[in-house]
Structure 1
């Protein structure tokens, strides 16, 4: 529970200003130790996965919180651009990340490189579902329906050998489920 009272030194009076001013401390405490340089210490989590260039280790998104030095380094129109500078928790390497308000993202400036994670549904051969426009075209346009069925036929011909090979392998492995189950149990028992 947070205390409700505040300590007032005996020689302090309200005419001398705030208690922090009287004692010679900043209201933000130790976080403001570099405030004269325009730097504020903030807690910072990585917005994406990175590779540290100092130790070569992978640092996961949001896995570690850093005491980062936050500094205003410019503006994009009226939006401030901030720099976050922190030490890698695995080595002594400094990592610097800037905000990019133009593209609404963060940029790794030095000390690390961003782990590129792009994914396209076509790469993993995910079945694409028809949207409303495509379904309407299938009903209304006979040529579009014919083209679509030809593409489907080609795709099924391409995948048929792989599917039959997988089916044969599965049938071969599970021809005698009892012995297969015994082998699996023996393998997993310690």
Structure 2
């Protein structure tokens, strides 16, 4: 077996290095570059010469050619294949606009109902309309990303709140467990002492709340200067009070004599009446402060 990597090569005795010439650049072939590639038929087609059907996916040794046409700076390539029956030349090119291939010469593409142009959305758009639609879709994508960021932030806030609630619940459980452990360690007497301490704390808290309520009530009836607010008595109530005071200021002798003279046996006294007594209303003119002028006498 010969070695794969050798440093020296064999040159025959009749080797002439001058026979190896390099073609100058100006003498080289010009035009589109053509290379041989191995590909599969991108769609099913029918040969125009012999009517042979070539199914999609059949392999060919094709020649690939770069054309001068471009679609938005995307080069368009042309492929040359031969019919498997009549060896007729068939060409098709790439279609970047529709992301597909297009039959060009030598064969006809079979009809595919799912590729009907009338059913494809935006099939009759111009280039400007396509650009506008792409810009609009890009703006919608950016807006959706911003909305997703806000939703992600809200989700993080909810997660943090949930974690805080869980931490508080765990702290409460730990505190309760520690209290129960202390109670078990102290025994029955320690439990009673702890209960009394808790009861005293509750009583102190109730007293403190009661003092705060009393202080608030006292401040509610005090002015800013510390003067206690007194209740104002109505005029009618004041007049009734004066009348009752004057009636009760009679001499004791007269009251005693009248009481003795008017005193009757308990059986002869009439039953008390609870009927409502209507007071005489004051004239409206007096309440409004209107003074009537005296009529002049004719004498």
Asked if TM exceeds 0.5, the reply is no
Larger Rg: 2
Structure with greater helix share of residues: 2
TM-score normalized by the length of structure 1:
0.45
Higher relative contact order (Cα pairs below 8 Å, separated by 6+ residues)? 1
TM-score normalized by the length of structure 2:
0.29
